[in-house]
Amino acid sequence: MSRRLILMKTLLCSVTVMVVVISLLGHPHLVNLVGYCADGDQRILVYEHMVSGSLEDHLLDLAPSRTALDWNTRMKIARGAAKGLEYLHESANPSVIYRDFKASNILLNKDFNAKLSDFGLAKLGPTGDQTHVSTRVIGIYGYCAPEYALTGQLSTKSDVYSVNLELYSWR
């Protein structure tokens, strides 16, 4: 199989995962899917408009004319993102492991309310008595929980590890 075909199949799976996850789940701290279009090997997802962009826009490479987010706003954003993740872990049935918690995937409305976006790496969580799901390690190793990076055993705790690393980088 050619490398391009493998990449296209991977992309198709990723987009399909995002469409399914976003369509089935609804929560104030998860981005809403407005539309989806597929034409040949081209795919596009249309999310609700988040006027303040991503959290990354407010943390990294700020122009001299822009002020950094104050502590209360950062905490509001962290709380909102955590509520979205809590919903995925505790209320979604089956649970969803997000696997891509980072500033660029936290979108902000005009009041800086946070919504998680980009569910392309999401994985259905363990069911029943299972404590984890086994999967190929995807993502940046520096953000992966050590047990996931070493064994491929993924759990909601893997997301919590990523959240802690990301929050630390907001300082």
Active centre residues (catalytic): 100
Q: Which residue has the tokens 């490479």?
A: 61
- Give the CA angle between residues 61, 149, 14 to the nearest 5°: 70
Q: How far is CA 5 from the centre of its chain?
A: 25
User: In angstroms, rounded to a whole number, what is the distance separating the alpha carbons of residues 13 and 44?
Assistant: 13
Under 8 Å CB-to-CB from 124, ≥6 apart: which residues? 94, 95, 96, 97, 133
38: left (phi over 0), alpha (psi -120 to 50) or beta: beta
Contact 35, 19 (CB under 8 A): no
User: In angstroms, rounded to a whole number, what is the distance separating the alpha carbons of residues 31 and 53?
Assistant: 12
